[in-house]
Amino acid sequence: MAEFDYDLFVIGGGSGGVRAARTAAATGARVALAEDYRLGGTCVIRGCVPKKIMVFASGYPDLVAEADAYGWDAQIGDFDWKRFRAKLHAELDRLEGVYRNLLNTSGVAIYETRARLQDAHHVALATGEVKSAAHILVATGGHPVRPGLENAEFGLVSNDLFLLEDLPSNILIIGGGYIACEFACILNGLGVDVTQYYRGEQILRGFDDEARDMIADRMRERGIDLQTNMNISEMDLAEKRGMSDGSSHGHDGRAVTLDDNPMSSTVADAAKPLWVKDTEGREHRFDHVLFATGRAPSTADMGLEDAGVSLGKKGEIVVDAYSQSSVPSIYAIGDVTDRLALTPVAIREAMAFVKTVFRGEKSPVDHELVPSAIFTQPEFGTIGLTEQEGFERGGVEIYRTSFTPMKKSFAGGSGKTMMKLVVDSETRVVLGCHIVAEDAGEMIQLAGIAVKAGLTKEQFDATCAVHPTSAEELVTMSSPVRKG
């Protein structure tokens, strides 16, 4: 009889956990996975996938306006959120089914309940069962955090947006990171009056400065009231502050489906209009406040400390290059480790874990030069050193172009594109690439291959341009605009 019930017990059924479970099972390992909400995790259920579908939905007013400029008699009507939402959730149900099937056909035992570590080899399920495993993989992901502000629980977090009963007529978004900027653009595109407060000088801290400025300008041009050096200082229910029927932005009834979804707001009052004081002392009334103020690893009440697993400052599981925690039989991957909170990174960590533990090939995870895209309008694709990081490092040349793409130019709209390469002046290796453009996410995936491969500027330029495209500019920038 086997010493343990399973060779691997995975806690968390998101992108990382599911990939690890089924690829480990493919090696012949006996694998179980526990998930207490829905299979698919943040990416599929309340993150990348529904967000991207909302990005598509929000882009149609622009497309129709453009169609008109191209000679079509095109007009856009009203957006029916309820019709869209029903279809969105049907799609998420379908995708959850795909994940379930993948696990079932791989022979992974699924426990649809909460799991907690008991010790280095035991997992206690909320059903009362205890399962033993040679290896335990924690892939519980992360969750949005609200700032420590009184009444912050009245505000929404990104999870709630997909569950809104009605689209608000206006919203205040707090934050200037990926989620804040993406949802500012999405909601603006869907017709919501968006105000965004960012506490610093410029949104998207840490990214290329020129790209940040360009995206901020474009967001403002689109009608987003983006205010920098601004934050929320107090909030309360509007009705308590005598603002209940103020500027008529309010709506009746509950805006958030407060079902048994542990990921959504738990406060019924989150549906009511809010009174907000900003850091300059001005008072406002908003239908909703969205806190896009960062995410934290989901490690609370998991029994990790009791099992001897070391946690870092943000509560993340501290792991080595092989995703192994301080307890040799316990591994962790994905957002719970607070390395790079991106789905494809979690998937790579899952594959490297399986290779290391179940295929006997020690495989560290490579977190260098990871491309990513921010789905603002326009999109922003980025990899490697920013111009500022290049100058700090020294010995770089900046190649950069900005132009209005043919499609936009013909339509007569604004819509400048920016492409930038940060190049090592000696070795000529391209150290960074930054693209602000329609479909920049698609472009950076391909340009990212060249940057990851360590190609030089001359090797970029040796590739013939594909004409007429926007991306051809990536291989035709002849002289540097700045050196440092």
Residues tagged in the binding site annotation: 52, 175-182, 294, 335
Exactly one of 93, 101, 126, 200 binds ligand NDP (CB under 6 A); which one? 200
Please tell me whether residue 293 binds ligand NDP under the rule CB under 6 A. Answer: yes
Taking the least distance from each CB to ligand NDP, the nearer of 250 and 448 is 448
User: Minimum distance between the CB of residue 372 and ligand NDP, rounded to whole angstroms?
Assistant: 5
Please tell me whether residue 157 binds ligand NDP under the rule CB under 6 A. Answer: no
Taking the least distance from each CB to ligand NDP, the nearer of 50 and 176 is 176
What residues from 316 to 355 belong to the interface with ligand NDP (CB under 6 A)?
341-342
Taking the least distance from each CB to ligand NDP, the nearer of 338 and 397 is 338
Please tell me whether residue 56 binds ligand NDP under the rule CB under 6 A. Answer: no
Would you call 64 exposed, middle or buried from its count of C-beta atoms within 10 A (0-12, 13-18, 19+)?
Answer: middle
Taking the least distance from each CB to ligand NDP, the nearer of 32 and 54 is 54
User: Minimum distance between the CB of residue 390 and ligand NDP, rounded to whole angstroms?
Assistant: 21
Please tell me whether residue 175 binds ligand NDP under the rule CB under 6 A. Answer: yes
Chain centroid to CA 217: how far? Answer: 22
Stretch of 199-207, 251-259, 299-307, 313-321 contacting ligand NDP, by CB under 6 A: 199-207
User: Minimum distance between the CB of residue 47 and ligand NDP, rounded to whole angstroms?
Assistant: 7
Please tell me whether residue 178 binds ligand NDP under the rule CB under 6 A. Answer: yes
Please tell me whether residue 292 binds ligand NDP under the rule CB under 6 A. Answer: yes
Tokens of 46: 């309340």
Exactly one of 171, 190, 365, 373 binds ligand NDP (CB under 6 A); which one? 373
Active site residue 121: no
The pair phi, psi for residue 353, each rounded to 5°, is -60, -45
The separation between the first and the last C-alpha atoms of the chain, rounded to the nearest angstrom, is 66
Please tell me whether residue 180 binds ligand NDP under the rule CB under 6 A. Answer: yes
Please tell me whether residue 133 binds ligand NDP under the rule CB under 6 A. Answer: no
Exactly one of 30, 295, 420, 457 binds ligand NDP (CB under 6 A); which one? 295
- Mask for 219-258, x = binds ligand NDP (CB under 6 A): ------------x---------------------------
Q: How many C-beta atoms surround the C-beta of residue 115 within 10 A?
A: 28
Residues recognised as catalytic:
467
Residues that bind ligand NDP (CB under 6 A): 147, 174-180, 182, 198-200, 205, 231, 292-295, 341-342, 372-375
